[in-house]
């Protein structure tokens, strides 16, 4: 067997491509299904770092790309919501190097709070978008994304989905290494400073670039036609293409790789070449709506197939216009809080004290399940603080005093800090209690570091954010640190007292995640030994 074929996940393929493309800096925030990209990039020798959140990641990558570097920012789909502010205006300013933003969407919500379709972001921001269908394409398209980004000096959205990120398929890593350019700062005030007068011209420049890319895309090898029967034509991109090929092996297929801006002349010629044309796409009818807006008669899937992932079986049913209710997919044991999770006493206390819990994103969200059912809201990263405060403001005092915001350490650093500022600035009349579950890791996504662990992505020591010091400095009236597993009764008494106090309060429940504790000790020992060596 030839050794140059490797079985790689889409995430691993992107990491390898990033290395071969001379990506100078990869940054992002952990989020399933995107997390492994930066971890593998780092293992391969690339420079990778976790940012506190996706907005900061895109901004750091943007700065690097202003300095002519090739930069990568990775995130899950909802992460792009957080990063959307710089993302939109980066399309106006453009860049000098390359900027690739990976959005890993999660149709079917294997591990997410929604199944938003981030292809709309490309159209909304005017950012070119590539959609690989397997790991080979993840590898090949990434290099193409870098070329497009450098040629048109625009950020590129690299849109993946759960099955492309996590599936392992064969890759020939045949790409010649693209030599990385030298970095330099070139002053371009009208190009980079988006005051209205400069931004108006920048918007026109962006649209002009997109017109050029549309024309280029008409003949780009990123889109392919697979010859087949005239009776049925399929238009597909991403993983849907794979399902489509299998469900209808004899159909003609137009496979789209660069899905914003779309090559409408090629699409028109394909649609006109077949008798029946069906758009096969997962999630929203993004392609179907764009194609129909051109006056082309294509079939879209029935609305029921907008929900969840596509499969070969579902594509067969779409083609058969089968709208009968689908059998429920096999369901085994649902996930749950680890049986020995040290935060179980926390959820027991919240339940016993009949708290109204504004929750957040992380494995502790599983506290919503029996036996605790100790969570009442969960919206997005950091929302526990704002939602908890809003509940406090609106509810009558005796009810308001039951409200607690519960958030993990990594989530708090990601986007809880501004909520804490809000609590100090607009305190509810009953005060408020923010409970930070500090297990010393980003547990849900596979135990990544974050600024409050004091270790970088590669687990080496770095500057450390001390959450209690931050809370005190912001002006929170009461700040406590406690170990809920060591003293569950003490934790309950403290929580009860703080709920009754009428003051603003932060309670940090600190105990390392059991799954991470061993590794944390190893990192700490290594750091201590290094310290000793340096001193000697």
Partner 1 sequence: MDNRVVNVVIAGLGGQGVLLASDILAEAALRAGYEVKKSEVHGMSQRGGFVASDVRFGRAEVFSPMVPEGEADFVVVLAEDQVDAARPFLRPGGQLLTPDWIDGKALSNRRTLNVAMLGALSVSLDFAEAAWREALTKRVPGKYRDVNDKAFAAGREAGLRRRD
The footprint of partner 1 (CB under 8 A) covers 1, 5, 7, 32-33, 110-111, 134, 162-163, 166-170, 239, 242-243, 245-246, 311-313, 327, 329-339, 363, 366, 444-446
| Closer residue to partner 1, CB minimum distance, 93 or 116 | 116
Strand partners, 22: none
Closest contact distance (angstroms) between CB of 309 and partner 1 is: 8
Do residues 148 and 99 touch, judged by C-beta distance below 8 A?
Answer: no
Beta strands 168-171 and 6-9 are antiparallel
Closest contact distance (angstroms) between CB of 129 and partner 1 is: 22
Burial of residue 231, with CB atoms counted within 10 A of its CB: 0-12 exposed, 13-18 middle, 19 or more buried: exposed
| Closer residue to partner 1, CB minimum distance, 178 or 312 | 312
Sheet holding 276-280, edge to edge: 224-226, 251-256, 229-237, 276-280
Closest contact distance (angstroms) between CB of 107 and partner 1 is: 11
Which residues does 333 contact at the CB level (< 8 Å), separation at least 6? none
CA dist 15 and 173 (Å) reads 11
The helix (run of H) or strand (run of E) holding residue 424 is helix 417-425
Do residues 457 and 48 touch, judged by C-beta distance below 8 A?
Answer: yes
| Closer residue to partner 1, CB minimum distance, 56 or 444 | 444
| Closer residue to partner 1, CB minimum distance, 20 or 243 | 243
| Closer residue to partner 1, CB minimum distance, 361 or 507 | 361
Closest contact distance (angstroms) between CB of 395 and partner 1 is: 31
| Closer residue to partner 1, CB minimum distance, 113 or 266 | 113
Closest contact distance (angstroms) between CB of 8 and partner 1 is: 11
| Closer residue to partner 1, CB minimum distance, 1 or 324 | 1
From the list 159, 262, 177, 273, the residue with the least C-alpha distance to 225 is 273
Using DSSP, state whether 416 is helix, strand or coil: coil
| Closer residue to partner 1, CB minimum distance, 110 or 177 | 110
| Closer residue to partner 1, CB minimum distance, 187 or 331 | 331
Distances (CA, A) of 332 to 13, 110, 309, 445: 30, 14, 18, 21
Closest contact distance (angstroms) between CB of 250 and partner 1 is: 13
Closest contact distance (angstroms) between CB of 4 and partner 1 is: 12
3-state SS string over 269-323?
HHHHHCCEEEEECCCCCHHHHHHHHCCCCCECCCHHHHCCCCCHHHHHHHHCCCC
CA dist 118 and 122 (Å) reads 7
Closest contact distance (angstroms) between CB of 65 and partner 1 is: 29
CA dist 217 and 258 (Å) reads 7
Closest contact distance (angstroms) between CB of 380 and partner 1 is: 16
Do residues 399 and 416 touch, judged by C-beta distance below 8 A?
Answer: no
Closest contact distance (angstroms) between CB of 27 and partner 1 is: 21
| Closer residue to partner 1, CB minimum distance, 135 or 300 | 135
CA dist 288 and 338 (Å) reads 43
| Closer residue to partner 1, CB minimum distance, 245 or 459 | 245
Region for 362 from its dihedrals, namely left if φ exceeds 0, alpha if ψ lies in -120 to 50, beta otherwise: left
CA dist 33 and 79 (Å) reads 11
Closest contact distance (angstroms) between CB of 162 and partner 1 is: 6
| Closer residue to partner 1, CB minimum distance, 32 or 505 | 32
From the list 189, 185, 193, the residue with the least C-alpha distance to 65 is 185
CA dist 181 and 200 (Å) reads 30
Closest contact distance (angstroms) between CB of 438 and partner 1 is: 19
Q: What is the DSSP letter of 195?
A: -
């Amino acid at each position: 067997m030839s050794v140059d074929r490797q079985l790689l996940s889409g995430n691993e393929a992107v990491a390898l491509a990033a290395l071969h493309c001379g990506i100078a800096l990869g940054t992002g925030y952990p989020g399933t299904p995107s997390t492994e990209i930066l971890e593998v990039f780092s293992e391969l020798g690339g420079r990778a770092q976790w940012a506190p959140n996706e907005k900061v990641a895109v901004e750091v990558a943007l700065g690097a790309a202003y300095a002519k570097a090739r930069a990568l920012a990775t995130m899950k789909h909802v992460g792009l919501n957080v990063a959307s502010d710089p993302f939109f205006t980066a399309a106006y300013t453009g860049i000098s190097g390359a900027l690739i933003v990976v959005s890993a969407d999660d149709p079917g919500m294997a591990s997410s709070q929604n199944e938003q379709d981030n292809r709309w972001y490309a159209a909304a921001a005017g950012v070119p978008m590539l959609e690989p269908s397997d790991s080979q394409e993840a590898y090949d398209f990434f290099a193409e994304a870098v070329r497009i980004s450098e040629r048109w000096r625009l950020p590129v959205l690299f849109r993946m989905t759960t099955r492309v990120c996590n599936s392992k398929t064969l890759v020939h890593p045949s790409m010649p290494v693209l030599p990385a350019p030298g970095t330099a700062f070139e002053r371009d005030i009208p190009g980079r400073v988006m005051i209205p007068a400069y931004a108006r011209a920048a918007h026109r420049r962006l649209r002009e670039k997109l017109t050029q890319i549309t024309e280029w895309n008409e003949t780009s090898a990123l889109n392919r036609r697979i010859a087949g029967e005239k009776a049925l034509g399929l238009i597909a991109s991403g993983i849907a293409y794979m399902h489509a090929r299998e469900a209808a092996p004899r159909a003609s297929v137009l496979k789209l790789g660069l899905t914003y801006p779309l090559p409408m002349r090629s699409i028109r010629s394909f649609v006109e070449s077949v008798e029946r044309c069906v758009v096969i796409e997962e999630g929203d009818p993004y392609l179907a709506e764009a194609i129909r807006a051109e006056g082309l008669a294509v079939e879209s899937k029935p609305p029921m197939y907008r929900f969840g992932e596509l499969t070969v079986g579902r594509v067969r049913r779409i083609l058969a216009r089968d709208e009968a209710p689908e059998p429920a997919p096999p369901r085994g044991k649902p996930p749950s809080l680890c049986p020995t999770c040290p935060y179980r006493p926390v959820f027991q206390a919240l339940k016993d004290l009949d708290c109204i819990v504004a929750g957040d994103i992380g494995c502790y969200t599983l506290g919503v399940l029996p036996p605790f059912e100790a969570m009442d809201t969960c919206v997005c990263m950091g929302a526990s603080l704002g939602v908890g405060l809003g509940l406090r403001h609106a509810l009558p005092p005796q009810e308001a005093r039951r409200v607690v915001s519960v958030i993990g350490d990594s989530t708090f650093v990601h986007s809880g800090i501004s909520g804490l500022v809000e609590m100090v600035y607009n305190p509810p009349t009953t005060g408020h209690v923010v409970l930070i579950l500090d297990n010393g890791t980003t547990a849900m996504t596979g135990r990544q570091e974050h600024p409050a662990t004091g270790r970088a992505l590669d687990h080496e020591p770095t500057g450390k954010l001390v959450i209690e010091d931050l809370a005190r400095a912001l002006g929170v009236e009461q700040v406590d640190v406690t170990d809920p597993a060591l003293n569950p009764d003490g934790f309950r008494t403290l929580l009860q007292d703080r709920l009754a106090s009428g003051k603003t309060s932060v309670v940090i429940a600190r105990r390392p995640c059991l799954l991470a504790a061993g590794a944390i000790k190893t990192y700490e020992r290594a750091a201590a030994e290094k310290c000793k060596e340096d001193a000697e």
